[in-house]
């Protein structure tokens, strides 16, 4: 598999609604052990292969790291508040749960996202989960994140599918008046 052949599967997530802040719940069953998935969630070198952000240190222990979202120059101090290897990782408004199942892992992401951007966030995390799976399988396709992801046809389809699934109108992307690339 290479990046040109990659096509994301259909949208499949849930949201919990609380005013303007909604929580995205995305679940993926991976064929890899919880320990291997944990390393991919916490090791900076592994995160660079699939995650939509980079960190300056391990996220595998309670403490502070500097987190930078792909495509932005803004670095934010991020506090890892819970790190129970290989079961639960929490930081900011994000929680990862890892459950062993059938020789693999059920990975669940809980991420609070402003309702106006929930379909965009769901599409981005969906693609990140896919690239994580390829990376863990030893066939990395490289992360697809930030502005690059939004130009990707699969992201645009997922954004629309998630908006429909969540009962919202998909945000226009790119925004009206934005330069075409």
Domains of the chain: 12-166 (3.30.530.20)
Helix (H, G, I), strand (E, B) or coil at 56: coil
**Do 103 and 111 touch, CB atoms closer than 8 A?**
no
Q: How far apart (Å, rounded) are the C-alpha atoms in residues 132 and 5?
A: 16
Confidence (pLDDT) at 172 = 66
Which residue's structure tokens are 């499949």?
12
Q: How far apart (Å, rounded) are the C-alpha atoms in residues 58 and 42?
A: 6
Backbone angles phi, psi at 53, to 5 degrees: -150, 165
Which helix (H) or strand (E) is 177 found in, with range? none
Helical pair 118-136 and 153-166, crossing angle rounded to 10 deg: 130
Across residues 7-13, what is the average pLDDT?
92
Q: What is the pLDDT of residues 134-165, one digit of tens each?
A: 999 999 999 999 999 998 889 999 999 999 99
Residue length of the chain:
181
Confidence (pLDDT) at 173 = 59
Question: Measured between alpha carbons, how far is residue 61 from residues 92, 97, 110 in Å?
Answer: 14, 15, 19
Q: What is the pLDDT of residues 39-79, one digit of tens each?
A: 999 999 999 999 999 999 999 999 999 999 999 988 999 99
Look at residue 132 and tell me whether its pLDDT is greater than 90. yes
**Do 24 and 165 touch, CB atoms closer than 8 A?**
no
What is the percentage of the chain residues whose pLDDT exceeds 90?
81
Q: How far apart (Å, rounded) are the C-alpha atoms in residues 59 and 113?
A: 21
Look at residue 125 and tell me whether its pLDDT is greater than 90. yes
From the list 154, 147, 158, 167, the residue with the least C-alpha distance to 123 is 158
Which helix (H) or strand (E) is 102 found in, with range? none
């Amino acid at each position: 598999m290479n990046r040109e052949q990659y096509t994301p599967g259909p949208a499949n997530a849930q949201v919990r609604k609380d005013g303007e802040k909604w929580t995205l719940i995305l679940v993926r069953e991976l064929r890899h052990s919880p320990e291997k998935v944990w390393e991919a969630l916490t090791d900076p070198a592994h995160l660079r292969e699939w995650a939509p952000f980079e960190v300056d240190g391990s996220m595998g222990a309670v403490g502070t790291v500097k987190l930078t979202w792909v495509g932005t120059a803004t670095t934010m101090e991020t506090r890892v508040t819970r790190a129970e290897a290989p079961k639960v990782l929490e930081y900011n408004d994000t929680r990862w749960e890892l459950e062993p199942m059938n020789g693999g892992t059920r990975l669940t992401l809980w991420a609070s996202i402003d309702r106006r951007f929930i379909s965009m966030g769901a599409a981005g995390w969906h693609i990140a989960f896919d690239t994580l799976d390829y990376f863990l399988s030893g066939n990395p396709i490289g992360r697809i994140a930030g502005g690059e992801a939004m130009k990707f046809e699969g992201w645009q389809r997922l954004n629309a599918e998630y908006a429909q699934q969540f009962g919202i109108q998909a945000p226009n992307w790119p925004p009206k008046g934005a330069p075409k690339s």
